[in-house]
Structure 1
């Protein structure tokens, strides 16, 4: 195939850039790289373990962790730029923040995620967590379940499910003789440790397995409601098992955006409310700090002797 490509380029006087062209041997991690040399004309193509194609980084093992980290860095830079622009404006509401985040940051994080978005990538989740923490005005030790429950956003992992389902709809509407559709048909027949097996698992979790079996497009609003319902049930179960949120669960039991998030509050007011609800507000009853003069000595509970307060 490379020889035929070289002959065609030579015939039509097209220069082939071998510096930008690489060879990737897709294989299992423990398998050694092939020793076969790939040549176009008299120029040898370099063999590499990863290659960026149309903005997506492919690695030899088929793992997209490196791709997710690269995209998350780009999304982090975009988020930092937004924060630097709006930091002086203390009256930004949730609608403006959502618009900026989903318009300027999410396109980086979800780029081509219809192909690679079936796994959880902490690097991508960290960017969304950072955006939520900045808006609510809480530090990095705030319980994430409480933050998602108050702001009403679902994790990026479940948002990528929407992109995969959207890509599923797109493939099914393609002409049957297109290369992409032919590759999908082969992938569908195999359906083991591949993209189709992952989308099948998603449909099963959303109770839409009949869609996969019959190969029909899905209404995106229906898919969005199913994903929201699925994550809401997971959130309601998980929030009960976090000791830090034992007070939080007494005031909130359903996954939905809280009213104080929608109010036109200042950043300080919103921060105090969020910290109080998450159980991280530095109240005296929790920090156990002395209001008056600190005693010089304190009786040790082990030896009943007096020790300097700093040493107890």
Structure 2
């Protein structure tokens, strides 16, 4: 089998057998194209990952009991390796197709609306972009190639001009603020640690620049670990309600107005107070939720007399105190049920 480069057609034989001419071939699970492109391979890994995502979502809603940490572990163990298979050969021109698979999975297990940004979901789950993971593996492989000179690697690295793959990686390292030559002076473990930390720092900086001020207020830890409440709120209905409140996408007149085109100043609560039905209003003052508020919210805020309403909301929706966010999650679920009953 050989590549065909249109419109030229060859007639080649090997031991009396005619060689088939093709646009692409699959070898060891990697799709190679006649133009050295990577689009065909990306489509293949995307299709494979989609099938796994469907299976994990099915497990999540049945035997998985809606427990997000378990779904995330399955995703990290199965889907991410599928998405990144063969990435060491070089980056894709565009990672959007793969990023959409990750974002769709997170949106499904968190049960959020499309108004919740992808970066917010990644921060809640403690995941980084697929593109960042891809570059991490590519650079790791580049380091092994340069620091473990075995087989034909020395001849490969001595080519003139330099192989395009090496040039691309060197440019990426320079963009990360890392000197490739200085990096190669280190041993493999230290070099990998520096690259991983730099990519994580840049990912976190980009996330912070894209997050809403509301979410920044409820976030207590600025690292790439999953939100604490995901492991402690075991009932999926409570966890879902708390997630929707934390991401400012709680079912309300405020949210409904975003899709129906109702002006912000007219998204009033049905309690008759004349206030906009924001998460602040629901948690602290809505008359419809007075009874559950007395049992679940007031014991948490009665001693917080020096805080403003905005600060109280951030305090209630943070994931620092297990007892606090379990009580708030129960309240949010009750409020959601009342909202649905009054539709």
Shorter-chain TM-score above 0.5: yes
More helix, by proportion: 2
Give CA deviations for 1:258-290 in whole Å, capped at 9, x if unaligned.
332342332222222222233322212342488
- The residue aligned with 1:224 is 196
The question of 1:259 aligning with 2:228 is answered yes
Match of 2:23 in 1: 49
> Using the alignment, how far apart are the partners of 1:119 and 1:56 within structure 2?
17
Distance in 1 between residues matched to 2:29 and 2:248, nearest whole Å = 41
Which structure 1 residue ranges, 5 or more long, are not aligned? 1-21, 27-31, 240-244, 293-312
Deviation at 1:180, TM superposition (A): 4.5
CA positional deviation for 1:33: 4.3
The equivalent position to 1:109 in structure 2, one of 71, 83, 86, is: 83
Whether 1:190 aligns to 2:157 is no
Match of 1:24 in 2: 3
Aligned residue pairs total 256
- For residues 93-143 of structure 1, the C-alpha deviation after alignment (integer angstroms, 9 at most, x for no partner) is 42x333211212222111121113354322222222233223322244421
Unaligned runs of 5+ in 2: 257-266, 272-343
Question: Structure 2 vs 1, CA of residues 55 and 144 (structure 1 numbering), >3 Å: closer, same or farther?
Answer: same
Q: Distance in 2 between matches of 1:269 and 1:119?
A: 41
Distance 1:273 1:226 in 2: 32
Segments ≥4 residues shifted beyond 6 Å: none
Q: TM-score, normalised by structure 2?
A: 0.65
Deviation at 1:212, TM superposition (A): 6.9
Which residue is 1:163 aligned to?
Answer: 137
- Which shows bigger deviation, 215-224 or 121-130? 215-224
The two structures have a TM-score, normalised by structure 1, of: 0.71
Q: What's the C-alpha RMSD, in Å, of the aligned pairs?
A: 2.9
Q: What CA distance in whole angstroms lies between the structure 2 residues aligned with 1:135 and 1:34?
A: 50
Superimposed CA distance per residue, residues 246-269 of structure 1 (whole angstroms, 9 cap, x where no aligned partner): 533444494544332342332222
Q: Which residue of 2 aligns with 1:126?
A: 100
Which structure is higher in RCO with an 8 Å CA cutoff and minimum separation 6? 1
Answer whether contact 1:235 1:255 (CA < 8 A) is retained.
no
Between the aligned partners of 1:74 and 1:51, the Cα distance in structure 2 is 17
Distance 2:127 2:95 in 1: 17
Residue 51 (structure 1) shift: 1.1
Identify the match of residue 233 of structure 1 among 180, 187, 205.
Answer: 205
Matched, 1:199 2:169: yes
User: Partner of 2:25: helix, strand, or coil?
Assistant: strand
